[in-house]
Amino acid sequence: MLHLRLITPAGKTEDVVRLIEGTVGTAHLCVLPGAARDPAGDLVLCDVAREAGDDLLSELQRLGLETDGSIAADDIGLSLSKRAEQAEKDAPGEGADAVLWEHLTEATHEESTLSVTYLAFLTLATMIAACGVVLDNAVLIVGAMAVGPEFGPLAGICTAAVQRRPRLALRSVIALLVGFVVAMTVTVGFSLFMDAVGLFTEEGLEGERPQTGFVYAPDWFSFVVALLAGAAGTLSLTSAKSGALVGVAISVTTVPAAANAAVALSYGDTVQTWGSTEQLLLNLLGITLSGTATLLAQKYFWSGQHERLRKRAHT
C-alpha cells in the first residue's frame, strides 16, 4: 500500500475527494479543511493499493495538484486494516508488479545527477578494480562492482527513452560519460603512482590472470549477461526490491573494464586498453537495450491493467 498526503486548494478539494472515492483500491480517506498553511489549502490523506497508485497519481496531476498544491507518496511498511486488505484485493494485478512511473523518474533523476559523491564513488570503485586486475584478485573485482554507481545513469537513459524525457536522457548521458572519463583519468594517475612506489608492475598486468582476464576479452557471453543484468536491474527499480541491485552490479563488467583500460593505458598496452574499452561499451549497450525493452514491456502490460481498473471503477 501507498500513503498519499495531498495539499489541495479549497476549490479543488471536492474534485480530489471525488477522484479518490471513484478509484478502485483506495481506503482510509481523511480530509482536514484548512489544515495546510504553505501552500494554503486543505490536507487530504488516503491509502491506495500500489497497483492502483500510478493511475491515481496521474489523475491528480491532471487536476494540476502538483502546481497548485502538493502530492507526496510513501510506502507503508505495515498496515493492519481489513479495509486496506480489501482495497488490495479490489485493485487488479499484484503490487510487486506495479510500476510507479513518477517515482521511477524521480529516483533515476537523483541517481543520474553528476555530483561530487557520484564521481567519488565511481572513481574509488575504479581504483579498487585497478588493484584487483593487477593482483588478479576476484574479491577486489567483486567489491569494485558493488561500489560502482553507474547503474543509476543507465536506468535514467532507459526511463528517459520510454517516458520521452530528453532532459533526463541528456543528464544521464553526461553523468555516465563524464563519470567514466574522470574515473579512468584519475585511475591512470593512480596506476602511475602505484608503479612508481613498486606496488603495481607491468608483469602483473601482462601475466597470466585466470581470475580477471575476462575484463579485456569481450565475447557474446558478456553481451548476454549485460542483457540479463539490465532486465534484472530495471525490475529491481520498478518493484522497489533494491536488494537485487547489488547482484546486478556484481554481474556486469563495467567498472573492472574501465579500470583495466586505465591501467593498461598507463603502461602503453593498446591491446588490453582497446579490449577493455570494447568490454565496457558492450556492457553499457546491453544494459541500456534490455532495460529499455523491460520498461516498454511493463508499460504495455500496465496500460492494459489501467484500462481494466478504469472499467471496474465505472461499474
pLDDT at 233: 85
Which of 222, 202, 233 shows the shortest CA–CA distance to 276? 222
pLDDT value for 249: 64
Among 195, 178, 187, smallest CA distance to 260 is for 187
**Do the Cβ atoms of 127 and 140 come closer than 8 Å?**
no
Q: Per CATH, is 2-98 categorized as 3.30.1490?
A: no
Residue 196 confidence (pLDDT): 96
Bridge-based pairing state of the strands 26-37 and 40-48? antiparallel
Give the type of residue at 18: R
* pTM for the full predicted model: 0.81
Architecture of domain 103-301: Up-down Bundle (1.20)
Cα 174 to Cα 119, 153, 252: the distances in Å are 12, 9, 21
| CA angle (293, 298, 302) in 5-degree steps | 150
pLDDT of residue 286: 94
Q: Is 2 left (phi over 0), alpha (psi -120 to 50) or beta?
A: beta
Give pLDDT, residue 106.
Answer: 78
Contact call for residues 122 and 179 (beta carbons, < 8 A): yes
**Predicted local distance difference test score (pLDDT) of residue 291:** 92
What's the pLDDT score for residue 77?
A: 80
What residue ranges do the domains of the chain occupy? 2-98, 103-301
- Please give the pLDDT value at position 315: 55
Within this chain, domains 2-98 and 103-301 share the same CATH topology = no
Chunked into runs of 10 residues, the chain (315 residues) has average pLDDT values of: 93 93 92 92 93 87 90 87 88 70 77 90 96 94 90 91 90 94 97 96 91 91 91 80 58 89 96 96 95 89 62 54
pLDDT at residue 175 in the model: 94
pLDDT at 244: 52
Structure-block grid coordinates of residue 259: 579500470
Confidence at residue 301, expressed as pLDDT on a 0 to 100 scale:
77
